[in-house]
Amino acid sequence: MNVQLTGNPTKAAHIVSNRKPRSGETYVRAATFDGSSLDNTAMEVSAVIATSAPVKRRDKKGLYLEVLSMRGLNIEDGEDFPLQLDHSSASRSTVGRGHSLKVDGNKLTAALRFSVADDVKPVTQRVSDGTLRHLSIGYRVSRWLETTDPKTGVRTKTAIDWRIDEISITPIPADRNATITHRSENMDPEVTELTPAQRRTEIRTICRMAGLTTEQADDMIDRDLDPVAARAEAFEALQERQRSAPRIRVVANNDDPAAILTRAADALAFRMGGVDKLPEPSREYANMSLLDMARDSLTRAGVSVRGLSTDEVFQRAAHGTSDFPLVVSNAASKTLLSAYQAAESPLKTVARQRSLPNFKESTSIRLGGMGRLEQLSEHGEIVATSRAESGEKLTLSTYARRFDLTRKLMIDDDTSAFGDIVAALGQAAAQTEADLLVSQLIGNPTMSDGKAVFHAVHSNLSAGADLADTSLSDARKAMRQRKDLDGKTLISATPKYLLVGPELETTAEKLLTAIQATTTDDVQPIKLTLLVEPRIDDDSWYIFADPARLAGMQYAYLSGAQGPQIQRQEMWDSLGVSFRVFEDFGAGWVDYRAAQKNPGAA
């Protein structure tokens, strides 16, 4: 909003608002017309539908005068508007069209063409006999000009950028200075003042339409309000009543099948020990047994459970169209994933994750750097160069186990035992991954250059020494001196992780605590994150670079199936449901320069 003061400060302040009207913010202004000139052949009448005459309105600041600037009206050539009854947008309330809008000084004229439909004839008859003689326009204002009279303090808001939405026939006008263009000869072109009786009648009509009481109408009459002021006050009272009315809260539909499935699965996973906290929406299912859940699923699927035995309920729930199998599978999956993540190997922290599209052998290409830029000769010749490259192989394999949710477990509602089985399989999946990663670390496999990962030629195998600040400093120095594949360019493989087994855990903690001391005199420049892999059973220790900067180890899953997967199958040869857990996983090396090994003191 821009505020501009024109002239000297004692004159009116002009406030220009560029605010666009809010959604649904439509203003209305009424006008009077005479239907006696209705052309019954063309079903058309000309009328003045609006003028620039001030109309009293009310906002949060109080009463003000509203003026429509005809210069600010936006009309496109050939544009027409619906002619409606009482601003109703219903199709049966649209009785014609308003067209040929023209601005004549401070008046806006239009030709009103009525429909020839049978249900519109009663309307045209009332227009012809003068029963319906008022018009009202619905319009939107994009820009206002607000002024205040310094003497009287009266505010005036002028619409200087506005457009019409529709034209309506209405029983009560606001702008009584707008009249029909073609009038009868005996009609006075000026609007006469209302008699006291007419004023009282009109005010009572306004109050009745706004839902106000007889006492409120009498109060307006006693205060000598004119119909325009009464209409503004009635509108404000109507708005206040709507604001204070109790609000109806619309909540999500509790019958959504997907939401029910999620809530039931979360409740079952909580009972199985797969999640630590029961979600609030799942509390209604927290005390339901497996049998209760099976019955509930069948009922929601439209299957009657009256008279069914326990075996029949489980059989129909497992083999029918209910969502009971999905509830159990989702709960098992949550429990499996929770146990799997808790048991993951710390070696995954120092490795880079990949996704492979199939089980074919994959090669990880390791590109060397570009060396250095060379100074141009006097002839300006730029010498072409190439990048060295190396590749390591990686292949996925599938690992799986199966377990059965027996009839006895389901009837006994032994969800804790069911959860223990699923959690154990999640831990088994993490154990499988850890074993494969550790075998790549301890097994020291041969790389594509024919040398083992940790080899003197690779300069990543230190002389055996106890874990101490001196040997750790030497390992860090060796990594700092790593060179690119061209054998010349330094890549500065910054150490980030210290990896040890249980034998060196306490020693490593003491060493890193001393290195990362809180006092200035005790601070050492080495800062490493300690990782303990329980499968390292000797005194060897390793330091690794950040895999985001330089990856040494790598592991991969099949695309779209990260981690262990669980599937359900109904059992035929025995009573119950069978589950299988499997994952597609592979591990290997991609770059020996990202790690430094010390085998420990002999």
Per-residue pLDDT, 227: 78
| Co-location of 400 and 545 in the same domain | yes
| Co-location of 429 and 568 in the same domain | yes
For residues 188 and 176, what is the distance between their CA atoms, to the nearest angstrom?
13
Contacts with 42 (C-beta within 8 Å, 6 or more apart), sequence order: 113
Range list of β-strands (E), 362-438:
362-367, 389-394, 397-406
Whether residue 419 lies inside any domain: the answer is: no
Q: Is residue 531 within a helix (H) or strand (E), and if so which, with residue range?
A: strand 529-532
Whole-number percent of the chain with pLDDT over 90:
19
User: Do 362 and 395 contact (CB within 8 A), yes or no?
Assistant: yes
Q: In this structure, what DSSP letter does residue 411 have?
A: H
- State the total domains in the chain: 4
Whether residue 490 lies inside any domain: the answer is: yes
| Co-location of 288 and 321 in the same domain | yes
| Co-location of 593 and 453 in the same domain | yes
Instruction: Give me the amino acid identity at 82.
Output: P
Q: What is the pLDDT of residues 542-567, one digit of tens each?
A: 999 998 888 899 999 998 888 899 88
| Co-location of 294 and 320 in the same domain | yes
Whether residue 307 lies inside any domain: the answer is: yes
Domain end among 342, 370, 402: 342
User: Do 591 and 484 contact (CB within 8 A), yes or no?
Assistant: no
Domain end among 189, 216, 234: 189
Tell me what the mean pLDDT of segment 405-422 comes to. Answer: 82
Range list of β-strands (E), 37-92:
44-51, 55-59, 62-68, 81-85
* Range with lowest mean pLDDT among 8-22, 147-161, 268-282, 579-593: 8-22
Whether residue 366 lies inside any domain: the answer is: no
**The pLDDT of residue 502 is above 60:** yes
Whether residue 461 lies inside any domain: the answer is: yes
Whether residue 417 lies inside any domain: the answer is: no
Distance of CA 367 to the CA centre of its chain: 40
402-405-411 Cα angle (round to 5): 170
Per-residue pLDDT, 7: 31
Whole-number percent of the chain with pLDDT over 70:
79
Q: What is the pLDDT of residues 9-45, one digit of tens each?
A: 333 333 333 444 444 455 666 565 655 566 666 688 8
User: Do 504 and 536 contact (CB within 8 A), yes or no?
Assistant: no
Its domain, for residue 201, covers 193-242
| Co-location of 302 and 211 in the same domain | no
User: Do 417 and 404 contact (CB within 8 A), yes or no?
Assistant: no
| Co-location of 128 and 201 in the same domain | no
Backbone angles phi, psi at 232, to 5 degrees: -65, -40
CA-closest candidate to residue 459, choices 599, 593, 602: 593
**The pLDDT of residue 125 is above 70:** yes
| Co-location of 117 and 229 in the same domain | no
Tell me what the mean pLDDT of segment 57-81 comes to. Answer: 86
Average pLDDT, the chain: 79
| Co-location of 238 and 315 in the same domain | no
Whether residue 126 lies inside any domain: the answer is: yes
Query: What pTM, to 2 d.p., does this model score?
Result: 0.52
Rounded to a whole number of angstroms, the CA Rg of the chain reads 42
| Co-location of 290 and 430 in the same domain | no
| Co-location of 184 and 200 in the same domain | no
Q: What is the pLDDT of residues 187-238, one digit of tens each?
A: 333 344 567 887 888 888 888 877 888 888 888 888 888 777 787 788 778 7
CA-closest candidate to residue 569, choices 331, 424, 402, 415: 402
Q: What dihedral do alpha carbons 224, 229, 234, 236 form, nearest 10°?
A: -130
CA-closest candidate to residue 436, choices 302, 540, 533: 533
Distances from the Cα of 173 to the Cα of 76, 89, 124, 128, 177, angstroms:
26, 19, 18, 18, 10
Whether residue 482 lies inside any domain: the answer is: yes
| Co-location of 199 and 185 in the same domain | no
Domain end among 342, 360, 381: 342
Q: In this structure, what DSSP letter does residue 39 have?
A: B
Tell me what the mean pLDDT of segment 81-100 comes to. Answer: 84
Higher pLDDT among residues 545 and 405, named by residue: 545
**The pLDDT of residue 180 is above 60:** no
